[in-house]
A and B are shown apart, each in its own frame.
Chain A
Amino acid sequence: DAGVTQSPTHLIKTRGQQVTLRCSPKSGHDTVSWYQQALGQGPQFIFQYYEEEERQRGNFPDRFSGHQFPNYSSELNVNALLLGDSALYLCASSQFSGAYQETQYFGPGTRLLVL
């Protein structure tokens, strides 16, 4: 049973460029959440997708956008990259149950460096 997978593992971009990160959820999971983790800090919630719609959003600018596909996989897009966007981007998947909490399983992350 494959866990959460993310691609690419590492990425180097320059300021102003755009980047797309990808996530495949754990088998049987239908909800994908994205988090940004800057060096030395805890992860911060970006947004969550369920049924191909953005359901929750954290305090991130519109430069951060996403998409969920019918197979539940998801993409995170960041436009007009800033140096401060350098971080580990984590994807977490869960199975929606109608309750306010389902266990989230994290992928290995994509490490983005903006120069």
Chain B
Amino acid sequence: RKEVEQDPGPFNVPEGATVAFNCTYSNSASQSFFWYRQDCRKEPKLLMSVYSSGNEDGRFTAQLNRASQYISLLIRDSKLSDSATYLCVVNRANAGNMLTFGGGTRLMVKP
């Protein structure tokens, strides 16, 4: 079983739709959680960190459920420019600064 699992998609949604991605992680020692965005043939870029209390950045909301070892990302009012692969990332406290990535969820926003 992979340490970080995501539905690969693709999620095909119309502009303006709300879309949610889920991610599960298997190592209970995981301490830090992130969503990265990766455009086609580009490098991953940090979208947002994920905190237990939940956090919001504009149209993006991230939630963490430590008990269920589950992370989510909600995108409201989808834009064409949101089309990308979204990577769920965790870091274990005893693993230094080694990031463990999920396989990514591909989002395609259609006009």
How many interface contacts (CB-CB < 8 Å) are there between A and B?
62
Q: Given the known A-B contacts A100-B32, A101-B91, A103-B46, are A43 and B97 also in contact in the complex, defined by CB atoms under 8 Å? A: no
What's the minimum C-beta distance from B44 to chain A, rounded to whole angstroms?
5
Please name 16 further chain A to chain B contacts, defined as beta carbons within 8 Å, in addition to the given A100-B93, A102-B97, A104-B99, sorted by A numbering: A33-B98, A40-B8, A41-B103, A42-B87, A42-B101, A43-B99, A43-B101, A45-B98, A45-B99, A48-B96, A90-B44, A96-B97, A100-B91, A103-B46, A105-B46, A106-B44
A-B contacts, 18 of them at CB < 8 A, read: A33-B97, A41-B103, A42-B4, A42-B102, A42-B104, A43-B87, A56-B97, A56-B98, A94-B97, A96-B97, A100-B32, A100-B95, A100-B96, A103-B46, A104-B99, A106-B43, A108-B42, A108-B43
- Listed in ascending order, the chain B residues whose CB lies under 8 Å from chain A are 4, 8, 31-32, 42-46, 87, 91, 93, 95-104
